[in-house]
Structure 1
């Protein structure tokens, strides 16, 4: 049994990238209504132990060795930091002289134990999708006690001490954050977090694209405003 899954190796800026999902199923501290993976039955924010991880690590080792990988992108269905062996996974990759990029929704990055793990990575991606507390609770359905203010503050706190490249992904969603007032709020959030790079995304894939997608023209307008903060 192997708990990891992989995408086809691809080239990015001349580097060979191996994208790996280190969760056997969705484990996340959110349960977003627009998650392309669907609902989670494992809404948690403490690390989980999975079987057969040693075999998975061996396969990852072989994948890196046999494919001349330059960067491993840990992009999981859920929150990758919840794998209790993520330290071992990152250490294995780094021992090969290969860079690590970690995707996290960003909420856990403000906690010391998770901050320490993420600090090992060369690149960390955090993200945001809605910008009001009501929408955060309604559509991202986080673990009880989570707040949008803390979510943003956690990423800002992490990036303040992080020595790698922090990438901040903003997803523009029709009816939630695509109006002028929302764009101004997003600008303020970007300034607070002060990332090294900003990525502007939008809802892709059906049925979300049809219901929550914005036009190409509006997407370009918002992107121009947010990429020049």
Structure 2
């Protein structure tokens, strides 16, 4: 692999953000039916080697020097935690004096290797899409042996020991987590995970909105319910 995919600088929360995709192709431990990247041809949670990354790091260094970002966002095609050289990438960015935000679906945050890597990042994103075991298996199509309870427990145990900013992204899917009962279960999950920041969204794009989309009004109702479970911070 000769380079990472670096996107244009954008502003978020008053910070200059450089988004970087470190995976040369989609590698993920899930195969979600709504993934905009399509099917996971390589569904894995084991570390994956992609060859010499010295050239990619040099290219990333030049990009950081040119754009002077406040935050480097590791937002990859799939699960960045499976990259065998993620530790080296994190150290390189830190040596450049930059803060790091890591996008993860969250399941591997219970894995000792992945937890150690995530702990080196200033911000970590975990995700929650469905709230029943049946829905989890049907919609997210995880690696064999995965369960929804273990998924939530992995993020919960990570959150309890993590010293950075934990962000939980919840996506509401029609027919899977938008009923009153499902919202009550989601609210309890948010209470367990106690994120620093909660982001609630619905499916975007005509292809997915027709099957999985919800109204703006319902999104506001669900968001208010989930936000009620956030910890009070003084």
| Residue 106 of structure 2 corresponds to residue 106 of structure 1 | yes
Which runs of structure 1 show a deviation greater than 6 angstroms over 4 or more consecutive aligned residues? none
- What is the deviation of 1:206? 3.0
Q: Distance in 1 between matches of 2:97 and 2:206?
A: 39
SS at 2:144 equivalent: coil
Q: What residue number does 1:226 align with? A: 226
Name the structure 2 match of 1:174: 174
Range moving further from structure 2, 76-85 or 46-55:
46-55
Contact 2:2–2:55, Cα closer than 8 Å, also in 1:
yes
Alignment CA distance shift 1:215-1:155 (3 Å): same
Does the alignment pair 1:46 with 2:46? yes
> Could you say what secondary structure the match of 1:207 adopts?
helix
TM-score of the two chains, using structure 2 as the length reference: 0.95
Tell me how far apart the structure 2 counterparts of residues 129 and 3 of structure 1 sit (CA, whole Å): 31
Q: Distance in 2 between matches of 1:217 and 1:204?
A: 15
User: Which deviates the most, 3-12 or 157-166?
Assistant: 3-12
CA contact (8 A) 1:21 1:77 kept: yes
Q: Equivalent residue for 1:207? A: 207
Contact 1:71 1:101 in 2 (8 A): yes
Residue of structure 1 in register with 2:4 after alignment: 4
What corresponds to 2:34 in structure 1? 34
How far residue 187 of structure 1 moved from its aligned partner, in angstroms, is 0.6
Tell me if structure 2 keeps the 8 A contact 1:108–1:154. Answer: yes
Using the TM superposition, give the Cα deviation of residue 223 of structure 1 relative to its aligned residue in structure 2, in angstroms: 1.1
Alignment partners' CA distance in 2, 1:63 and 1:8: 10
The answer for unaligned runs of 5 or more in structure 2 is 230-234
**1:72-104 Cα deviation digits (max 9, x unpaired):** 001111000011111011111111111000010
Shift of 1:13: 2.1
Q: Are 2:184 and 1:189 aligned? A: no
Q: Deviations over 1:148-182 (max 9, x none)?
A: 00000000000100000100111000111011111
TM score, norm. by length of structure 1: 0.97
- Kindly state the Cα deviation for residue 52 of structure 1 after the two structures are TM-superposed: 4.0
Helix, strand or coil at the partner of 1:66 = helix
Aligned to 1:121: 121
Q: How many aligned positions are there?
A: 229
- Any conservation in 2 of the 1:3–1:52 contact (CA below 8 Å)? no
CA RMSD of aligned residues (A): 1.0
Alignment deviations for residues 134-158 of structure 1 (CA, whole Å, 9 cap, x no partner): 1111111111100000000000000
